[in-house]
Structure 1
């Protein structure tokens, strides 16, 4: 039995073909605030626990978009072999706790790696794993996964051609700026932000992203000024 925020449906697994129970989140959730990297804080509920759908029969896991999409034959064969050889399993539960959510993301990452998914998709999964830990106020684990997301996004920028799905290279640079800021590397953060706010075309093609980059830049400058003031006061 699901809770007041979720409901259970059955969908065919794109790998093994069997109907599997999955938990879906009801659309009307109240957002309390949104972080600079677009992580949403919801009241009384964490929908990120349910972002990944997982087959209770073969263990295939992916976000909803990719789970409900028909897989190419070669990917289905690769994943079926991959999951069988590793005896992967995922126990269905209508109400996920932290271990269930973490396990679902790890499975989704393994499955994406098995079919050589774009680095940008792996980075997105990794970023959301850091959100899981952020919302649970587990700082060390959040930073660990944020650093993994940085590595994947930077490799993606260097090797992949954008746009990829709905993601642009400018969006990736902005996410990298937010992540570098969170892990305490302001130099790299400023490097990416300066590329965005000095891009004359960005304001015309994506005004929201340009505004977000400007706001983060201003917030960082304000924080730095306050830190310098506090340090000077302390010296006195």
Structure 2
């Protein structure tokens, strides 16, 4: 009996051009979480069995890149914008095999660009920027990690102000916690303190009690540094 491969092929249809293709996914039995960083970055062992590597789907025919978080709706003129800015420049290329962190980063950057042209929700774009930052952390590229972390902060701020996280799997308390933690990591202590306070203030109406507990522990750890 042959050993089961960690990866399997998922059949996909491109929402833009209709092309059918396959993309790799990890079988759940091979996903081993060993810890979660304070910005909620999951760390897996071995690193090659990181499901985030395969989160983005890239159509090899037209280059449209997306995830299951994307809306199926294309606002007026956005299909034309993607066809002009992405598809017309695309040289047929496949990301349908095993991916390295570098490969995955390319797919996320393609998807973020498509998302901006498609006018996807800020919360969706924020999540992709954050995942790029996490992948750069794995590669120990601090400069790029910081760059994409700051882009994530901008999008989470927009998501919070417009409340476009509503109706998604991302709660208000999670948005606030990420803004607090990421602001601290980006060196903006004042903003970090303001968002941590909002998390604590909103704990009674929060459904994600674990996030509140993490925030309390984190706030205890860094309050002296922020207030100092």
Q: Write the mapping of 1:160-199 to structure 2, written as runs, cut at 5 A.
A: 160-199=163-202
3-state SS, counterpart of residue 24 of structure 1: strand
Is the 8 Å Cα contact of residues 49 and 97 (structure 1) preserved in structure 2? Answer: yes
Is the 8 Å Cα contact of residues 11 and 21 (structure 1) preserved in structure 2? Answer: yes
Runs of 4+ in 1 over 4 A off after TM superposition: 69-78
Is the 8 Å Cα contact of residues 21 and 92 (structure 1) preserved in structure 2? Answer: no
- Any gaps of 5 or more consecutive residues in structure 1? 229-236
- Any gaps of 5 or more consecutive residues in structure 2? none
CA deviations 1:35-54 (Å, max 9, x no partner) are: 12221100012322211111
> Within 2, Cα distance between the matches of 1:191 and 1:11?
43
* Residues 107-116 or 89-98, more deviating: 89-98
Give aligned pairs, total.
220
Instruction: Mark the CA change 1:30 to 1:184 in structure 2 (over 3 Å): closer, same or farther.
Output: same
Answer with 1 or 2: which has the greater Rg. 1
Equivalent residue for 1:40?
Answer: 42
Is the 8 Å Cα contact of residues 34 and 40 (structure 1) preserved in structure 2? Answer: yes
Equivalent residue for 1:56?
Answer: 60
Q: How many angstroms does 1:172 deviate by?
A: 1.0
Is the 8 Å Cα contact of residues 31 and 40 (structure 1) preserved in structure 2? Answer: yes
Instruction: Mark the CA change 1:90 to 1:113 in structure 2 (over 3 Å): closer, same or farther.
Output: farther
CA deviations 1:111-132 (Å, max 9, x no partner) are: 1011111112111110111011
Equivalent residue for 1:15?
Answer: 16
Equivalent residue for 1:201?
Answer: 204
* Residues 32-41 or 70-79, more deviating: 70-79
> Within 2, Cα distance between the matches of 1:163 and 1:215?
26
Return the match for 2:213 from 208, 211, 214: 211
Q: Does 1:138 align with 2:173?
A: no
Q: TM-score, normalised by structure 1?
A: 0.82
3-state SS, counterpart of residue 63 of structure 2: coil
> Within 1, Cα distance between the matches of 2:155 and 2:164?
14
Q: TM-score, normalised by structure 2?
A: 0.84
Return the match for 1:147 from 138, 150, 168: 150
Is the 8 Å Cα contact of residues 82 and 118 (structure 2) preserved in structure 1? Answer: yes
Is the 8 Å Cα contact of residues 202 and 210 (structure 1) preserved in structure 2? Answer: no
Q: How many angstroms does 1:98 deviate by?
A: 3.1
* Residues 194-203 or 147-156, more deviating: 194-203
> Within 1, Cα distance between the matches of 2:203 and 2:111?
38
State the Cα RMSD in Å: 2.5
